[in-house]
Chains A and B, each alone.
Chain A
Amino acid sequence: MPVNADFQGRSFPPSGPYAVSAADIAAFADAVGSDDPLHHDAEVARAAGHADVIAPPTFAVTLAQRCDAAYVQDPDSGIDYSRVVHGEQKFVHHRPITAGDEVLGELTVDSIRSAGGHSMITTRTELTVDGQPVCTSSSTIVVRGGEDA
């Protein structure tokens, strides 16, 4: 089944809350090779004006991908995840994601377009804590066309 273009413009109900812990942040920072003390030392983070340790700039993808699930796993979306590759990613941070945050994410399908037999889908996830914006994560995935596409 081809990608269903009817989803363009659709917004999904907020998902979450997703709790962010200091351990989550430390494991992610270690995995991307960051020794920034803002990820590891709450005292240093507080001295810099944060409530606790803060996440690396790409950590938000872990939350955004959980919000994406409602869309990409919807059988009506027509997305064959085994054909998906990540094309583009962008984050706009309104404030750093911080240990102790309970994050809600609201997903919107901004565009669905076809090119060369492939489908390009751009989604945007607005991440908030207590109603305040924290991060806007935008992602473009490419669904490679197949013989049945």
Chain B
Amino acid sequence: MSTRIAAETQAGDTFGPQRVPVTRETLVAYADASGDQNPIHQDEDFAKGVGLPDVIAHGMWTMGAAGSAVSAWAGGADRVVEFGTRFTKPVVVPADGAEVEIAGTVKSVDPEARRAVVEVTVTAGGDKVLGRCLATVQLD
């Protein structure tokens, strides 16, 4: 993985969209890795019992997947110095799985600090699921 160069990066640059599958198994793996065992992310009957349409992905899984895409674009996870988002809609994960689409756009580049601000868009079924998802990335 090669590192991105500030001098070769400008506002308006894009990456993706890439499609990332998310299944119930993905959510069990995320629950085990993160310690967030809330049953709304694993148990269909429980999720429907509290008024959700079906099992939903952890918001932090979705943000994590966005973080993986930004890290790959930047050239390494250590390049992501700030990362924030709002959670605007859940990703519904039926028994046969779902898919999110992740894309990024460079909003600005600070040539002196060699840092770029990237806005990440994540959609599921055409709906934006993250709001103001912004990463500040250290470039070379």
Contact = CB atoms under 8 A, between A and B. Distances in A.
Q: Chain A interface mostly helix, strand, loop or mixed?
A: mixed
Interface residues of A, number: 37
Contacts, number: 111
A25 B1 CA distance: 19
Interface of B: 1, 20, 26, 29-30, 32-36, 50, 59-61, 63-65, 67-68, 70-72, 76-78, 80-87, 135
A37 interface: yes
A32 B83 contact: no
Contacts of A85: 87
Contacts of B82: 90-93
Interface stretch (A3-11, A56-64, A70-78): A56-64
Contacts of B81: 92-93
A31 B84 CA distance: 19
A113 to B, nearest CB: 16
A27 B76 contact: no
B71 A36 contact: yes
B109 to A, nearest CB: 19
A59 B76 CA distance: 15
Nearest to A95: B78
Nearest to A142: B87
Contacts of A87: 86-87
Given A28-B33, A36-B76, 13 more contacts: A27-B33, A28-B34, A36-B1, A36-B68, A38-B78, A58-B60, A58-B63, A88-B87, A89-B84, A91-B82, A93-B82, A96-B77, A138-B84
A39 interface: yes
24 contacts: A24-B33, A27-B33, A31-B26, A31-B32, A34-B64, A35-B72, A36-B76, A38-B77, A56-B67, A57-B67, A57-B70, A57-B83, A58-B60, A65-B35, A65-B36, A86-B59, A87-B86, A88-B87, A89-B85, A91-B84, A92-B82, A93-B81, A96-B78, A138-B84
